[in-house]
Amino acid sequence: MSPNASRPQRILLRSGKSPYDVFPVEEALQHDVFASNAGNLIFSDATHKILETPHTTVVSNGIRADGTPAGRINEEYDAFVVPLANAFRPSFEASLRRLTRLISQLKIPVIVVGIGAQAGLDYNPARLKPMEPAVREFVSAVLDRSASIGVRGEFTEKYLNGLGFKDVDVIGCPSLFMYGKELAVEKRAQELTADSRIAINGSHNAVRSQGLGRVITRTHARYPNLRFIGQNLSDARQLHWRDLSDPNGKVTGMPTHPDHPMYREDKVRVYIDPVTWIDDLRDFDFSFGSRIHGNIAALLAGTPANVLCSDSRTLELCRYFEIPHHTLDQLPEEIDPARLYEETDLGALTGNHHERFERFTSFLDRNGLDNTFTHGDGGAAYEERLRSLDFPGGVRPWIDTDPASLIARFGWLHTRVGELTADNAKLKKELDRVKAGTKAAAKTAAGKTTVVAPASRSVYRKARRVVGRPLRRALKGGRG
């Protein structure tokens, strides 16, 4: 939409939360505001910033609201923008189908940015064969409503071309365009020493079965200022609540596990908000590990990074952006971060960034979307508003025994119990009212066989729906 249009463009953005939403840690974990992986907020926040101009309003749908009635979206918004990561994977098929059902009912443009297919390092798409119908339906629905679909790299482009789709643009991930055409990353130290501040990241699978656990152990022994940065919801719950109920709680080699020495030494964090994540990484000398957005957060902070790729989703993104990387299956047994740092060449990453940025904004232009760097203030208002907010710091291990630590946690739990008790009291009153109405309807029906009984059943069903929604929310909240 042109900046000279008569009214502002309203964009609905698929994201866990708005960048301006500030949640206490407990609320963020209860409601899973980053959809199980904090890395999701890196690229959704970047997309929000990029699309926010004086002529556009960007609204987060909260992800969980993919079931928002299509009619309401058609009426209230001018475009639906969907940033995605490795969405073409078997475990995401059900979610992909739900998203397809929504998109198929939309009459407004639908623009997908940064979507990827997930396979092994060999780029073999065989594991994706069973979900091809779901992928075809999704991509067809999107391309019926946009000029092209934006994918993260070469493998996904080839995969979709093989399915017969030609309107495919390789644009990488919007996260690395958070600051526009400039990407200032440089080595601040000639070499790493025992005193260097190093950030490491990794998935449970990489730690458990791909050798990263041994790398973490050796690095922890050699570098006292090492910090592990987790990303999963289960990681954050282990840190804040010592909650090991998730299957990931069995991976004791993960530094987010309470039995790990890095946990006990307070050398682990999980971030609820990208702004605090990026800010904290500005003081580090180097970042490495298997988490692509954990290392992108470092690059956005100006800190050199090296990605240890474990699959196609990380490899194709590293190749496209020319991010320094290695594959986990070819790492030397005794790899040391000092050697990785020495091998990290940032020239192509930063030198070719402008060209990639122009390709990305051209994709937005073709799909009718303005961007703040071309049509706005370059994100100045966004940054100013962000800096005016008081976001919580990174989630830390619960190793405190002081009363203040206990009061904060138990105070929140006490409040939740009070809220649920009040909700239950309201539900009981509503149920009692419904029961009374049902009895009255039954008496009326017994004495008079007219249309009253069907009307009563209709009232009862309506009341049951009214009661059922808050009851389900209350029960779900109690389980959380």
Pairing of strands 268-270, 56-60: unpaired
The Cα-based distances of 290 to 305, 329, 361 in angstroms read 11, 12, 28
| Res. 257: pLDDT tops 90 | yes
pLDDT tens figures, 21-57: 999 999 999 989 988 899 999 999 999 999 999 999 9
Q: Is 172 left (phi over 0), alpha (psi -120 to 50) or beta?
A: left
pLDDT tens figures, 345-366: 999 999 999 999 999 999 999 9
For 93, what's the count of Cα atoms within 13 Å in the CB-facing half-sphere? 13
Q: Kindly indicate the confidence band of residue 7, based on its pLDDT and cuts at 50, 70 and 90.
A: confident
Question: 72 and 113 in one domain?
Answer: yes
- The beta-strand segments (E) located in 253-400 are 268-270, 286-289, 305-309, 325-327
Pairwise CA distance, residues 54 & 347, whole Å: 34
Question: 333 and 229 in one domain?
Answer: yes
Q: Total structural domains in the chain?
A: 3
Question: 324 and 234 in one domain?
Answer: yes
Question: 360 and 467 in one domain?
Answer: no
Question: 40 and 16 in one domain?
Answer: yes
pLDDT tens figures, 433-472: 888 777 776 677 666 544 434 433 443 343 344 334 433 4
Question: 459 and 310 in one domain?
Answer: no
Question: 377 and 452 in one domain?
Answer: no
227 located within any domain: yes
Q: Output the domain CATH number for residue 363.
A: 3.40.50
215 located within any domain: yes
CA torsion sign for 423, 426, 430, 436 is: positive
Which amino acid belongs to residue 296? I
Q: Kindly indicate the confidence band of residue 413, based on its pLDDT and cuts at 50, 70 and 90.
A: confident
The residue segments making up the domain with residue 409 are 403-479
The Cα-based distances of 38 to 17, 94, 155, 172, 276 in angstroms read 11, 21, 24, 19, 12
247 located within any domain: yes
371 located within any domain: yes
Question: 232 and 369 in one domain?
Answer: no
pLDDT tens figures, 46-93: 999 999 999 999 999 986 555 578 999 999 999 999 999 999 999 999
287 located within any domain: yes
224 located within any domain: yes
- Given this model, what pLDDT does residue 410 score? 67
Question: 255 and 174 in one domain?
Answer: no
pLDDT tens figures, 355-407: 999 999 999 999 999 999 999 999 999 999 999 999 999 999 999 776 766 76
* pTM exceeding the 0.95 threshold for the entire prediction: no
Question: 164 and 232 in one domain?
Answer: no
187 located within any domain: no
393 located within any domain: no
Question: 140 and 108 in one domain?
Answer: yes
Question: 172 and 24 in one domain?
Answer: yes
Last residue in a domain, options 334, 363, 387: 387
**Coil, helix or strand at residue 228:** strand
